[in-house]
Structure 1
């Protein structure tokens, strides 16, 4: 059997002398973690401050322009095995590898693995391994100089090197251009032959599951080999003739238990064992994975409304309640299975069923896809091209092909992966962002998205659909046409009020979102500004969006009372973010089956920043998360404007019919009823039903003093006739009590007046604290209970007072002449 020996110990890293290194930075070695990167090594050694705090990122920009040298020594005893390879699962990015002074090879792609023949250069006793990382900046600039510039949404040349694009900075991310041995590295010793690639393609039809196991072998011998595959008690075997290097062995499983997305069935997986044997029958290599039997297709059959974009799993159309996933840490080697599991649990608790892995990050780890398989989270995977024109010439072209082939084969075993997308926004960019004039005939990536990548997917994994880009509307159409295919909606955040989400009738929305600041405890950990203000230096540095602060202010001006201080601003901008996304999600879900998916930008952050995320850079849930949980629930009750009238829409994404009665009332903001009706609900599974509201309930003679409330089975839908800034809210009155629990507090609030979007922020008292619910609107006489997980020594008076306990109507209009 082959043997893999990790080489993860004893590494050091030091900068190579050069002009990029500051004169006062010590050019000496520090211990290096492998897998890891230079930033985390320097941080652990105390050589640099945390790049995520204040504006440290700017002062540390030189690191990406410098060269870095990793070195280690290891002992080696002569082996009888005929092959010994140095297997590098991932090098970031422009590397030259030396063993005992001999150059083994070079790399220029973070997104693929490399293997070098080490046997000729190994010696008994001590061996020295050195990896020299050249600056990714310098490499990209040299490629750009040779091929000609291409348009790019950001200043740095990330489109000229196959590296995680968002390392170079994004409108939510820091510019920290990493280098290092970011994946496992070690010596692989083997004889006879090894499994170079195993690609299981699982399909199911007519009650029969089939696994076609495609095998590639690397040989040291021309003897005949055999390869067998076994799953759930069924087994098949085939022979690989002398000199042959590929084979397919197919296992059939009668009536297999299926893998389903969460909410549609169980996530049944089956262990697949693959064994390679020599002519004498000895096992020389093995491979094992858990696979799932399921079918998936993308329904784009033209209909009366245009071109749908519907994921169909096991014959069942699935409404995608999705979120976009970016790298959860810019320093990706800090990610663990436990941290992935925490994020996935947060996504599932928000009723998410799909993650889109965005094309400016990375192909995620095995832990990511394995957890998605286990939990039933669908994954839509971008190829790694984002917001830029990419050259189709060498040295980039061959890297793209090698990378794509490796990643498609690597991920083929995962039932959660249901679609490949060719790029993020690049076809749209070519059409709408002024690229043709700037390109002057140079290549920009179209050949990748329309020819190279679909051909690779069709060859290596025809079990999954491919779509040329996100967004894309089909050939001969504008790429972001709402009636056709998938679309992104960004004019709302960039230019319009969020109510304009309702102007769209899309088939599938793969990106839309609205910004808000992170949780207060996250801000205070990352930013040392005194006083903290929306425009203080640290806050501005951790706001990367163009005119981001002005766009947040535009949103406040349109909807909410003017903040008196930073506490008001922080709370109200978070409320506005939560409301904006809820407006979009509820509208798009109400259009089902015309619209069959919403993928909110974005689930997570990679550092502490004001952004579109629902989970901030420290892993804390923003108000948006709580709003998303309600908007993505299996059953949704929502009031929508249609053709100048109000309607009630009941959305049922569950497997059982929804039957009941909705009480719909027009109320004064003081709580008195004005008009009321009862509407019977009978909503089939996986459907939405639209019901008209009578005029006396849906109309108001005094919009600033009235609202509509629909209530059914504990679900509520609100409609306010005017914006909060124009509503004659009473000053809030309530009774709040805090009762200690074994692991926190129970806070009960009883309303004396309406309390709009009541929220509790215990992290202001204890950074480790969290709360089970946020943004609850109460009418006079109603109460809400919040369960707080926190230290037992919190001050109950502080827990039930501003700025911890907030509602929108505690921000009262300022009187003339007052100061804030």
Structure 2
């Protein structure tokens, strides 16, 4: 029996496009005689079409919001059909021949229109000038944010990307950026409502759909079980399928993200309704005490990043665009991605992949910083429809766990001194809670990001945007002192890409004035995020970053890459240790929006930066971290988030930089499934040893503490380092070595050092990357690194921040 998809057929052209003066063509008949049309991919954007036509410059993006842009395509058929427009950015008229079918004012709303076809017609889309619309007289808000301009954007339902100076390039989002599809009336299920829940370990699948012509019974199947749906109204069928012992969906770090196919059979045809996952998401404490999540009853430390679109020019929404970046998120051990209110709603493929890969999704409404006119009936109606469509589209997505009311709306007003009745975004929160209760009661609602305390940005309540360590240049200790409950944003730096990406962008010299164009800054601030990175370079390595930039720019960039890696690891080690009250941290950002030293831990070319490698170590589900507890010594924290127990050996060694051992302990342990264990240095050693150099009874006996976690068979799992006297990055001979060796899965790179090596990094001659980079080696230490994407036999160099030698392999 054939399995029929319920998706519509794409209306993918051929399409062409032309840019005109605003108001030049009132109707399609005026645009037919224009010359200069170019091919235009749909879904896609006008900027993307111009880029494909060779009429686009990344350095000087073409302004588009000041123009009208026409798209057109022939459409043939006979009879009644339904056209669906998933996303039109932003002011769009839809014409069939010379009949106006639709006028849309929101980038975030999908629309369906019914058409009667009688041969070949012309479908035309007229995207009107957003700049002209924003220039009209609009009621001003109670505050004007620094983030984006103009202030009239508070009335527009469009992305803020392109409107935020200092954040991202001024690339205007215009065009049919999401699919346009067509379908005939009848024959297939419509108005599908699937809801998956778990009750006492039993999966419950509740289904409803419309099937006007049903010849015989309508049967719902999932996980090898089935139920006959009842006709509750003419053409409407509903039912509840009970699935005892159904395999649950887990974040990839904690188990398998199991999905189950759902089909419905009617009249001898079987229709594919997609896949569902069964899981629970619950709060472990009241939101006011700090967001903390459990999935299927198991606490999950949510770590990851704030998401950015894969391509700011074309705004693609297909699997090919998302898969590489989401693959890197999984490889880095990220359990959560937040789609913030300054971005845009991602395509269905993004959520499908997150379901498959086991990545939790925090989805904000597209609201940020502005005083939105929620008292305006038209705005409120559009926002209500937007929320409903979002929840309906993602009704069966198990990865979706949090929906938020937007980004920094409450914070913006509070920081400007407004009292709580003004800054509290109560209207949006109420709308969101009502919609979630009706459509996705399994989701957690966050009023705004940040929110929850006496002030919305309080670190000790709700969720916070924590930039104490980071933008505010606080010491590492502040990550504990601030008592962060959940950081929905944190650790923003001007992260330096690798040399290959800088060369491709023509940004090889940080002294070049062009360099600063790729460095993000908050509008109106007297500092930028390169200065933030430089601060920690100075703190960690005792150098003058400005002098280093001037005299040795290559080493300046090397120390910059190393410093952000150190800060990332140190902060998450603090937050993941046993006893920490922090339940999550999401780094700002996942990927750069433009070439250069941007916020992303992945650069604009898709290559991981030093920060990504640091997060990969910090986020791994089997982890070992050290915390300095002062007079109580060092504490070793061993974490196993996986679904099975692991027999391990833990080794704690105190040495000088040359390798002389001052103290050492080794112990075999069994880490239970989804468990954590904390051991003091005294408990491991069985005696007193001044592990933190806190007692000061004499010169410190060691320069380095090294915690190493291995499987019982000796396979490496994780390690951590503690530097009681700080990091000495002065170059010296450390005995670096590197060699390619044959392994069961192919060639690996063996890297070692005779003395302590800081910030060891591999630079390949061609494409590809190592499985780890910017890591430390203990004296006599060794690592085996897989090399991916290298093609033939790889070659390159190995360096360390404190090594004078460069080793080729």
User: What TM-score, normalized by structure 1, do the two folds share?
Assistant: 0.84
Per-residue deviation, 1:423: 1.5
Counterpart pick for 2:49 among 41, 47, 65 = 41
Q: How does 1:576-595 map to 2 (within 5 A)?
A: 576-592=563-579, 594-595=581-582
1:31 equivalent in structure 2: 39
Determine if the alignment matches structure 1 residue 671 to structure 2 residue 670: no
SS across alignment from 1:56 = coil
Q: Give the match's secondary structure for 1:495.
A: coil
User: Contact 1:167–1:178 (CA<8 Å) still a contact in 2?
Assistant: yes
Which residue, out of 136, 139, 148, partners 2:133?
Answer: 139
Q: 2:278 aligns with which of 293, 297, 303?
A: 293
Q: Partners of 2:359 and 2:188 in 1: how far apart?
A: 33
* Contact preservation (8 Å) 1:666, 1:706: yes
- Secondary structure of 2:323's aligned partner: helix
Question: CA distance change for structure 1 residues 748 and 660 in 2, over 3 Å: closer, same or farther?
Answer: closer
Name the residue aligned to 1:371: 353
CA-CA distance at 1:772 after TM superposition: 2.4
The residue aligned with 1:554 is 535
> 1:816 corresponds to which residue?
none
1:687 match: 676
Within-5 A mapping of 1:114-153: 114-119=111-116, 122-124=117-119, 126-142=120-136, 144-145=138-139, 150-153=144-147
Equivalent residue in structure 2 for 1:318, among 263, 277, 300 = 300
Residue 165 of structure 1: aligned partner = 160
Following the alignment from structure 1 to structure 2, what is the Cα–Cα distance between the partners of residues 682 and 657? 7
After superposition, the Cα gap between the structure-2 partners of 1:705 and 1:792, relative to the gap in structure 1 and judged at 3 Å, is same
Q: Distance in 1 between matches of 2:790 and 2:646?
A: 41
Aligned to 1:614: 601
Over 3 Å counting, the alpha-carbon distance change for 1:723 and 1:753 in structure 2 is same
1:13 maps to: 17
The within-5 A match list for 1:99-114 is 99-114=96-111
**SS at the partner of 1:773?**
coil
- Match in the other structure for 2:30: none
**Alpha-carbon distance between aligned partners in 2 of 1:485 and 1:761, rounded to the nearest angstrom:** 42
> Aligned ranges for residues 142-541 of structure 1 at < 5 Å?
142=136, 144-145=138-139, 150-157=144-151, 158-169=153-164, 171-191=166-186, 196-215=190-209, 229-231=220-222, 232-242=224-234, 248-274=238-264, 288-301=273-286, 307-331=289-313, 333-392=315-374, 393-434=376-417, 446-473=425-452, 477-499=454-476, 500-515=478-493, 516-527=495-506, 532-541=508-517
Residue equivalent to 1:545: 521
1:139-190 deviation line (CA, Å, top 9, x unaligned): 3343745778743522344433212222423654222112111122243321
Relative distance call for 1:535 and 1:139 in structure 2 (3 A) is farther
Given the superposition, is the C-alpha separation of residues 161 and 214 from structure 1 closer, same or farther in structure 2, using an over 3 Å criterion?
A: farther
Distance 1:322 1:601 in 2: 9
Q: Aligned equivalents of 1:688 and 1:344: distance in 2? A: 30
Map Cα deviations across residues 617-653 of structure 1 (whole Å, 9 max, x no partner). Answer: 1111111122112111223222222355542231313
Q: For the residues of structure 2 that align with 1:790 and 1:375, how far apart are their CA atoms?
A: 21
Q: Which is further off, 331-340 or 610-619?
A: 331-340
Deviation string for 1:651-675 (max 9, x for gaps)?
A: 3133455665644333222322334
The aligned residue for residue 60 of structure 2 is 56
Cα distance in 1 for residues equivalent to 2:577 and 2:236 = 50
**Native 8 Å contact 2:769 2:790 kept in 1:** no
Check the 8 A contact 2:648/2:671 in 1, yes or no: no
Is the CA contact (8 Å cut-off) linking 2:147 and 2:164 kept in structure 1? no
Question: Which residue matches 2:769?
Answer: 770
Q: Structure 1 residues 468, 688: closer, same or farther in 2, change over 3 A?
A: farther
Query: Counterpart of 1:756 in 2: which secondary structure?
Result: strand
* In 2, Cα distance between equivalents of 1:150 and 1:113: 29
Partner residue in 1 for 2:29: none
The separation in 2 between residues aligned to 1:147 and 1:106, in whole angstroms, is: 26
The answer to whether 1:602 aligns with 2:592 is no
Deviations 1:439-465 (A, max 9, x none): xx9x87824432111111111111222
Shift of the 660–104 alpha-carbon distance from structure 1 to 2, 3 Å rule, reads closer
Where 1:494 maps in the other structure, the secondary structure is coil
With 419-428 and 395-404 compared, the bigger mean Cα shift is at 419-428
How far 1:740 moved relative to its partner? 9.1
What is the rounded CA distance, in whole Å, between the counterparts of 2:739 and 2:198 in structure 1? 55
Counterpart residue number, 1:807: 800
Residue of structure 2 equivalent to 1:71 = 72
CA contact (8 A) 2:217 2:228 kept: no
Distance 1:145 1:366, change over 3 A: same
Query: How many angstroms apart in 1 are the aligned matches of 2:790 and 2:634?
Result: 45
User: Residues 67 and 203 (structure 1 numbering): CA distance in 2 closer, same or farther, change over 3 Å?
Assistant: same
**Corresponding residue number in structure 2 for 1:84:** 81
Give yes or no for contact 1:470–1:510 (8 Å, CA) kept in 2. yes
Gaps of at least 5 residues in structure 1 are 813-820
Q: Distance in 2 between matches of 1:146 and 1:605?
A: 32
Deviates more, 1:107-116 or 1:321-330: 321-330
Q: Is there any run of 5+ residues in structure 2 with no aligned partner, and where? A: 26-33, 523-527, 683-687, 711-715
Query: Once the 2 structures are TM-superposed, how far is the Cα of residue 590 of structure 1 from its aligned partner?
Result: 0.9
CA distance in 1 between counterparts of 2:7 and 2:356 reads 29
Pair 1:13–1:593, CA change in 2 (3 A): same
Distance 1:757 1:99, change over 3 A: same
Structure 2 length-normalised TM: 0.85
3-state DSSP of counterpart to 1:491: coil
Shift of 1:288: 0.8
Taking a change above 3 Å as real, the CA distance of residues 172 and 372 of structure 1, as seen in their structure-2 partners, is same
Conserved? CA contact 1:153–1:387, under 8 Å: yes
Distance 1:225 1:661, change over 3 A: closer
- Say whether residues 1:633 and 2:633 are aligned partners: no
3-state SS, counterpart of residue 251 of structure 2 = coil
Q: Could you tell me whether the CA contact under 8 Å between 1:324 and 1:357 is conserved in 2?
A: yes
- Aligned-residue offset at 1:240: 4.4
Displacement of 1:736 in angstroms is 4.0
Q: Which residue of 2 aligns with 1:574?
A: 561
Quote the offset at 1:795 in angstroms.
10
- Answer whether contact 2:317 2:348 (CA < 8 A) is retained: no
Retained in 2: the 8 A contact 1:738–1:745?
no
Cα deviations by residue, 1:712-741 (Å, 9 ceiling, x for unpaired):
4243321112343xx385613435455598
Which of 756, 759, 765 does residue 757 from structure 1 map onto? 759
Task: Mark the CA change 1:513 to 1:20 in structure 2 (over 3 Å): closer, same or farther.
Answer: farther
Q: Structure 2 vs 1, CA of residues 642 and 753 (structure 1 numbering), >3 Å: closer, same or farther?
A: closer
Q: 1:111 to 1:226 in 2, by over 3 A?
A: farther
How many residues were matched structurally?
760
| Counterpart residue number, 1:815 | none
Which whole-Å CA distance do the structure 1 matches of 2:300 and 2:794 have between them? 47
Contact 1:379–1:419 (Cα < 8 Å) also in 2: yes
Whole-angstrom distance in 2 between the partners of 1:213 and 1:647 = 54
